Amino acid sequence: MRAGYKILWTLLWPCCVAAQQKGDILVAAEFDFYKTDNIGLLGKGQAGMELFYFRQAGWALTAGAEYWTREWKGTVGLRAELNERWYLRARGVIGERSYFNAGLGHKVPLGKRWVLENLLDYYPQPNDLALRTGVLFRF
C-alpha cells in the first residue's frame, strides 16, 4: 500500500508544480446546480465563497463559507492543481452537521484574472454527488 502512495505522489508532483505559484491568492464564488439529494428543482440551495492561498506551488490551503438552505457553514481544506486545467480538492464542511467532501474540478480561463470552474464533489458520509459551477478571481 505504501508503494502505491509513493507512485501516485511521483506521478502527481510534476503536474502540481506547473499550475499556481507559491504565494498566489485566489477567491471563488460557486453554487451547486445539481446534487443527488435535491428535492425538486429549487427545493434546496447551496452556494459558497472560498479563498485559496498557495503555500507551495500547486498546493493551496483553503477556507470559506457555504450557505446550505437557511444554514451557514464554514469550510477548510486543501487544493492540488494537477495542471492548468484540472485540480483535486478535499475539505471539511463545519457546522451543525459537519461533512467531508472530495472533488475533481476543471477550469476554463475567461481572461487574465477570471476563470470558470466546474467541479464534481463527492460526500462519502451521506453518499451524495454534487455538480458545482462558479467563477474564480486571481489576485
64 against 9, higher pLDDT: 64
Q: Which residues pair with 77 in a beta bridge?
A: 62, 91
**From CA 75, how far away is CA 50, in angstroms rounded?**
8
pLDDT tens digits, residue range 26-59? 999 999 888 888 776 666 788 999 999 998 888 9
Q: Which residues pair with 24 in a beta bridge?
A: none
Asked whether the beta carbons of 72 and 90 are under 8 A apart, the reply is no
In the chain, what are the domain boundaries?
2-138
pLDDT tens digits, residue range 95-122? 887 889 999 999 999 998 999 999 999 9
Whole-model pTM: value is 0.79
CATH 2.40.160.20 given to domain 2-138: yes
Q: Pick the range with the lowest mean pLDDT from 1-10, 70-79, 102-111.
A: 1-10
Tell me the mean pLDDT in the region 10-33.
69
* Strand (E) or helix (H) holding 103: strand 99-109
**From CA 33, how far away is CA 47, in angstroms rounded?**
9
Report the pLDDT value the prediction gives residue 124, as an integer from 0 to 100: 92
